[in-house]
Amino acid sequence: MSETTIGLFPNAGDSYFLPRLSNNLGVFLGLTVHRLRSMDVVHAESDGSLFALKQLSILKKMSPISLKITLVLLKRGKQFDLKECLKMEYRILHYAINDHDFFEDVPAFLIDKDNKLQ
């Protein structure tokens, strides 16, 4: 899940599944694109300021509009069934692919590999 890294947002039903994880873990995963390992799950409820600062530095590298869209998707997705979430993601995707962030960030991340988001 690297959507917010390239100027997009969670899709493929993520707006349905992520908000249903406990303690806002899905919101965290959707925004930070953090990959959970087994020990991450064990310590998911632990809070440490170093961890929080690291996540903040990661968020600062993400597309701001993608982060905002992700938050809205996850808030609305909690109220919708899977079919409605997929429709919502599909409709937003049509607008997002014409956005500046998408056309600038995808090549930076996938082709140039410099990860310098605009």
State the Cα–Cα distance between residues 64 and 66, nearest whole angstrom.
5
State the Cα–Cα distance between residues 26 and 32, nearest whole angstrom.
10
Upper half-sphere CA count for residue 88 (Cβ side, 13 Å): 23
In tens digits, the chain (118 residues) has pLDDT values of 556 555 666 666 676 767 777 677 776 776 666 666 655 555 555 555 566 667 677 777 777 777 788 888 888 888 888 888 888 888 888 777 776 666 666 666 666 665 555 5
Domain definitions of the chain by residue range: 3-111
**pTM of the model as a whole:** 0.53
CB atoms within 10 A of CB 13: 14
State the Cα–Cα distance between residues 22 and 106, nearest whole angstrom.
31
